[in-house]
Amino acid sequence: MPEASARDLFPGALEMMILESLRRQPAHGYALVQHIQQRSNNLLQVEEGSLYPALQRLLKAKLVKAEWGVSSTNRRVRTYRIRPAGLRHLEQQISSFERMFEGITLVLDPGKSPAS
């Protein structure tokens, strides 16, 4: 079995991190990449080839909206904002992730007893 990269993410993880970043404040693509990298202590590197398709999926699902504007460096940028449906989706995804992580932890640490 080939060794997976330490930076591989499970399906939906990038979208979840984008939504969480946008919950904190609206941002353009480069700012999202920087935020995720900083918050992960440089453990996660998001490439444009992954970020923009994820943003398009979120736009298509009406979980975020985008507006064109001008950056502080006088460049045209697309700024993304989370929608109320995006907030609800994010909460559901976080809850599902926490349950999955708890199950994985129980399997990996057999000394822990399941919560009753």
Query: Read out DSSP for the chain?
Result: -PPPPTT---TTHHHHHHHHHHHH--EEHHHHHHHHHHHTTTS----HHHHHHHHHHHHHTTSEEEEEEE-TTS-EEEEEEE-HHHHHHHHHHHHHHHHHHHHHHHHH-TTSPPP-
- The whole-model pTM stands at 0.81
Q: What are 90-108's pLDDT values in tens digits? A: 999 999 999 998 998 999 9
Mean pLDDT of the chain: 88
Residue 115: band (very low, low, confident or very high) from pLDDT cuts 50, 70, 90: low
Query: pLDDT per residue over 48-71, tens digit each?
Result: 889 999 999 999 999 999 999 988
